[in-house]
Amino acid sequence: MKEMPNILWLEEIKKEDIISVGGKGASLGEMTSIGLPVPKAFVVTAQAFRRFLIETGIEDTLFRRLERLDVEDNGALESVSRDVQDIVLSVDMPDHIREEVIDAYARMGANGTVVAVRSSATAEDLPEASFAGQQETFLNILGDVDLLDAVQRCWASLYGARAIYYRAKQGFDDRSVNIAVVVQELIRSEKSGVMFTSHPVTGEPLTIVEGSWGLGEAVVSGSVSPDNYVFDLRSERVVDRLVAEKEIMIVPEGEHGTKVVELSAQQRTAPVLSDAEVARLAMLGKIAEDHYSVPQDIEWAIVGDDVFILQSRPITTIRRPEIPRPGSESAGQPKGPLGVVLLEGQGASPGIASGRVVIIRDVRDTSTIRDGDILVTKMTNPDMVPAMRRVKAIVTDEGGMTCHAAIVSRELGTPAVVGTKKATKLLRDGQVITVDGEKGTIYEGAVEAPAAAAPAAAPAAAAPAPMITGTLVKVNVSLPEAAKRAAATGADGVGLLRIEHLILGLAKTPGWYVEHGAEEEFIGELYGGIKTVLDAFPGKPVWVRTLDAPTDEFRNMQGGEEEPIEHNPMLGWRGIRRDLRSPEQFRMQIEAFKRLWAAGYSNLGVMFPLVNHPDEFIQARAMMKGWGVDVENVTLGVMVEVPSSAILIEDFIKAGIRFASFGTNDLIQYTLAIDRNNEHVADMYEPEHPAVLRLIDYAIKACREHGVECSICGQAGSDPDMVAWLVGHGITSVSANIDAVPRIREAVARKERQILLDAARRNA
550 binds Mg ion (CB under 5 A): no
Instruction: Give the number of residues written for the chain.
Output: 764
666 binds Mg ion (CB under 5 A): yes
Contact indicator for 605, 541 with CB cutoff of 8 Å? yes
569 binds Mg ion (CB under 5 A): no
For residue 610, the minimal CB distance to ligand PEP (Å) is 8
Closest CA to 143 of 187, 118, 106: 106
Contact indicator for 665, 672 with CB cutoff of 8 Å? no
495 binds Mg ion (CB under 5 A): no
For residue 641, the minimal CB distance to ligand PEP (Å) is 5
664 touches which of Mg ion, ligand PEP, none (CB within 5 to 8 A by kind)? ligand PEP
Sheet containing 635-640: order of strands: 709-712, 659-662, 635-640, 604-608, 542-545, 494-498, 472-477, 733-736
397 touches which of Mg ion, ligand PEP, none (CB within 5 to 8 A by kind)? none
- Provide the pairing of β-strand 352-360 with 346-349: unpaired
For residue 609, the minimal CB distance to Mg ion (Å) is 6
- Number of Cα atoms under 13 Å in the Cβ half of residue 8: 27
For residue 382, the minimal CB distance to ligand PEP (Å) is 13
Q: Which is nearer to ligand PEP, 181 or 713 (CB)?
A: 713
Q: Determine if residue 652 is left, alpha or beta; phi over 0 gives left, psi from -120 to 50 gives alpha, anything else beta.
A: alpha
Q: Which is nearer to ligand PEP, 375 or 611 (CB)?
A: 611
Positions touching ligand PEP (CB under 6 A) are 402, 496, 498, 548, 641, 663-666, 713-714
663 binds Mg ion (CB under 5 A): yes
Burial tier of 264 (Cβ tally within 10 Å: 0-12, 13-18, 19+): exposed
Q: How far apart are CA 554 and CA 574, in angstroms?
A: 11
Q: Which is nearer to ligand PEP, 168 or 611 (CB)?
A: 611
For residue 611, the minimal CB distance to ligand PEP (Å) is 12
Closest CA to 407 of 549, 229, 580: 549
585 touches which of ligand PEP, Mg ion, none (CB within 5 to 8 A by kind)? none
Q: Which is nearer to ligand PEP, 170 or 644 (CB)?
A: 644
Q: How far apart are CA 160 and CA 459, in angstroms?
A: 52
For residue 733, the minimal CB distance to ligand PEP (Å) is 14
DSSP states of 89-128: HHSPPPHHHHHHHHHHHHHH-TT---EEEEEEEEESS-TT
614 binds Mg ion (CB under 5 A): no
498 touches which of ligand PEP, Mg ion, none (CB within 5 to 8 A by kind)? ligand PEP
Angle made by CA atoms 661, 597, 642, in degrees to the nearest 5: 20
- Provide the pairing of β-strand 604-608 with 542-545: parallel
* Identified catalytic residue from 154, 703, 710, 713: 713
Q: How far apart are CA 272 and CA 644, in angstroms?
A: 54
CA 659 to the chain's CA centroid: 27
531 touches which of Mg ion, ligand PEP, none (CB within 5 to 8 A by kind)? none
* Identified catalytic residue from 404, 501, 703, 710: 404
For residue 545, the minimal CB distance to ligand PEP (Å) is 7
298 touches which of Mg ion, ligand PEP, none (CB within 5 to 8 A by kind)? none
Looking at residues 617 to 646 of the shown chain, list those that interact with Mg ion (rule: CB under 5 A): 641
Q: Which is nearer to ligand PEP, 157 or 665 (CB)?
A: 665
Start-to-end CA span in the chain (Å): 84
Helix axes 583-598, 519-536, angle to 10 degrees: 40
Q: Which is nearer to ligand PEP, 441 or 737 (CB)?
A: 737
Q: Which is nearer to ligand PEP, 227 or 666 (CB)?
A: 666
Q: Which is nearer to Mg ion, 155 or 662 (CB)?
A: 662
Concerning whether 710 is annotated as a catalytic residue, the answer is: no
Helix axes 46-55, 18-33, angle to 10 degrees: 150
For residue 538, the minimal CB distance to Mg ion (Å) is 27
496 touches which of Mg ion, ligand PEP, none (CB within 5 to 8 A by kind)? ligand PEP
Concerning whether 404 is annotated as a catalytic residue, the answer is: yes
As annotated, the active-site residues are 404, 713
Q: Which residues bind Mg ion (CB under 5 A)?
A: 641, 663, 666
